Structure 1
Amino acid sequence: MIKFHKLTTGYSSRGTSKEISRALDLSIEKGTLVGILGSNGIGKSTLLKTIAGFEKPLSGSVQIDKKSVHELSPMDRAQCLSIVLTERKLSGDLLGIEVIRLGRQPYTNWIGSQSEEDDQLVSKIIAQLNIGKLAEQTLKTMSDGEIQKILLARALAQDTAVVLLDEPSSHLDLYNKALLFQQIKQRVKEDQKTILFTSHDLNTAIQICDKIILLLQDRWEYGTPDELIKKGVFQSVFPKETVGFDPLQKQFRICV
């Protein structure tokens, strides 16, 4: 279980603090797909990085299975959660399978040698995601969307209970986006992983998520898509004269 206890995210600089998300207090059960949604600049990626332990909270805490993320050692944290960010700092000469194998680093010995069990897990994930051909290509020959699939495979190879994804479908067309989220939903259902992802694609998130954390200018909301629709909170995401929300169709629509 993931628990936010009065979590406030933001930045501190020269003695001053800027709050981004304030006093989040909620619990996420194991085996749940959660979308972190909101308008541009609302703090979705900051929240994701705070959950990952990359950013310190201004106050409150993030706990995974009753352990404070920010008090864990880097190695313990790497065995607890994995993350795929939009920033990529990998050599284009690496093969896809070499990148995927990096997910096993938290479990290898000091020289980084991998066991037969490590290899079997990597092979299983490659098969599950249907990326056998990509695994044998170098990153520099792949599209952004293909690299995204390799990075997802690396996160799954890390074999953590919690997986964090920053805009996982941002470089994918509709077909490949659908395939990606089908694969993500399978891992949630079959492996009981808890997966949180940020997205600008609110319509897709409403369709596929078990729960949604909705960040608004003056508050936050948490619940199932249907619960949030009934509360009428999606109408507050964008200016109504530009983008409206249709609760019957469960979709945002451009007002023209």
Structure 2
Amino acid sequence: MKMGTQHRKLQPLLQVKELEIGYKRTADGHKKVAGPLNLEMYAGQLVCLLGPNGCGKSTLLRSIAGLQPVLNGYIEVEGQRLDQLQPAHIAKIISLVLTDNVRSGNLDVYSLIALGRYPHTGWLGTLSKKDKEIIDLAIQSTHTAAFLPRKLDSLSDGECQKVMLARALAQDTPLVILDEPTAHLDLPSRIQLMGLLHQLAREMNKAILISTHELDLALQAADEIWLMSDGDLTTGLPEELVLNGSFQQAFDKEGILFDTSTGTFNLHHKGTKQIRIQGEGKVVFWTKRALVRMGYEILTGETDVSLTVKEEEGEVVWSVDHKGEVKLYRQLPELLDALSVM
């Protein structure tokens, strides 16, 4: 397993030592999904767990949360071994938000958020002044005050996910784990939630670990990425894993290429036509995207077709040199139509 190059003097909040995860079987031993894994996580840090479907992300999260026995190794939170703690104690140091939203027509939003205090209230469930203050802080931090009078079944997926996060914050654990928190959300809600998680990790000094398929958002929001693939796990800064080729290796499939210059996946096969582009700025970036979709390969050397993008008096001009013949275009559709017949 490769480890990131980031060094810290702080004591890790979460430590995973020689961990092997999988499923125990009664007749034929066990099925190992991944490991041995050695991981560290710190307070104030947002970590995104990425990897192809079926690589073991959910199994790892369930194991760290204490919901699934491990095959080997151990997990420590705040210096305490998880396998030596009672469930009631684990609930005071780890909170978990699963993919499936809780939907109950009779439960209002405040009541659900208040349930996060269950590890601290005793069997009577009576909320103290301190409990209410912590609940109010969770509501304020997740911007869910406007939802409080409503029933859960009246919430949108995005609103419900924020309420579930508020419940986890009300539990007031140092480690918060979320399994695919953006799975059912539209794009604006996904962006808002990822930004909120990044903000909460810093402002509330919590370690927040999430599994996600939102590669582009993870690259922007995560302090560190855990990248699972083929039973192994690579950790590091997002930028580090892009530059050293880890992303390409983990998601390498025929016809899908990871573009290290933009941090996005290219859906298109290698172009059959070639073009050279000169210029800079957002117009050049989006022009390249359009040309790749048309089947062009963007080169830096000499080609039969070269394109120069520049602005003249606030207007974009595309200048095409095709075997020495130069033509100007002032609209992108016009440019693409002309290139299609060259």
Taking structure 2 as the reference length, what is the TM-score of the superposition?
0.72
The answer for the alignment partner of 2:183 in structure 1 is 170
1:19 aligns with 2:35: no
Task: Pick the aligned partner of 1:9 from 16, 21, 25.
Answer: 21
Task: Pick the aligned partner of 1:38 from 26, 51, 73.
Answer: 51
Superposed CA offset, 1:162-186 (max 9, x none): 0000011112222222221222112
In structure 2, distance between residues paired with 1:254 and 1:14: 44
The answer for the alignment partner of 1:159 in structure 2 is 172
The answer for the alignment partner of 1:77 in structure 2 is 90
List, as ranges, runs of 4+ consecutive aligned residues in structure 1 with deviation greater than 3 Å.
87-90
Mapping for residues 82-161 of structure 1, pairs under 5 Å: 82-88=95-101, 91-161=104-174
- How much does 1:39 deviate? 0.6
Q: Residue 220 of structure 1 aligns to which amino acid in structure 2? A: L
Kept after mapping to 2: 8 A contact 1:36/1:213: yes
1:68 aligns with 2:81: yes
Q: Which has the higher contact order (CA 8 A, sep 6+)?
A: 1
Q: Residue 161 of structure 1 aligns to which amino acid in structure 2? A: P
Query: The residue matched to 1:136 in structure 2 has which SS?
Result: coil
Task: Pick the aligned partner of 1:184 from 186, 197, 202.
Answer: 197
Taking a change above 3 Å as real, the CA distance of residues 218 and 47 of structure 1, as seen in their structure-2 partners, is closer
Q: Residue 173 of structure 1 aligns to which amino acid in structure 2? A: D
In structure 2, distance between residues paired with 1:68 and 1:90: 34
Q: Which runs of 5+ in 2 are unaligned?
A: 1-12, 270-342
Kept after mapping to 1: 8 A contact 2:52/2:251: yes
Taking structure 1 as the reference length, what is the TM-score of the superposition?
0.95
Q: Which runs of 5+ in 1 are unaligned?
A: none
C-alpha root-mean-square deviation of aligned residues, in Å? 1.4
In structure 2, distance between residues paired with 1:191 and 1:128: 9
In structure 1, distance between residues paired with 2:255 and 2:231: 20
In structure 1, distance between residues paired with 2:142 and 2:101: 20
Query: The residue matched to 1:221 in structure 2 has which SS?
Result: strand
Task: Pick the aligned partner of 2:218 from 205, 215, 231.
Answer: 205
Taking a change above 3 Å as real, the CA distance of residues 41 and 92 of structure 1, as seen in their structure-2 partners, is farther
Kept after mapping to 2: 8 A contact 1:94/1:139: yes
In structure 2, distance between residues paired with 1:13 and 1:57: 12
- How much does 1:85 deviate? 0.7
Task: Pick the aligned partner of 2:258 from 245, 252, 255.
Answer: 245
| Stretch deviating more after TM superposition (21-30 or 46-55) | 21-30
- How much does 1:31 deviate? 1.4
**Between the two proteins, what is the percent identity of the paired residues?**
38
Query: The residue matched to 1:179 in structure 2 has which SS?
Result: helix
The answer for the alignment partner of 1:59 in structure 2 is 72
Kept after mapping to 2: 8 A contact 1:5/1:25: yes
Aligned length: 256
In structure 2, distance between residues paired with 1:2 and 1:184: 18
Query: The residue matched to 2:117 in structure 1 has which SS?
Result: helix
Q: Which has the larger radius of gyration?
A: 2
The answer for the alignment partner of 1:219 in structure 2 is 232
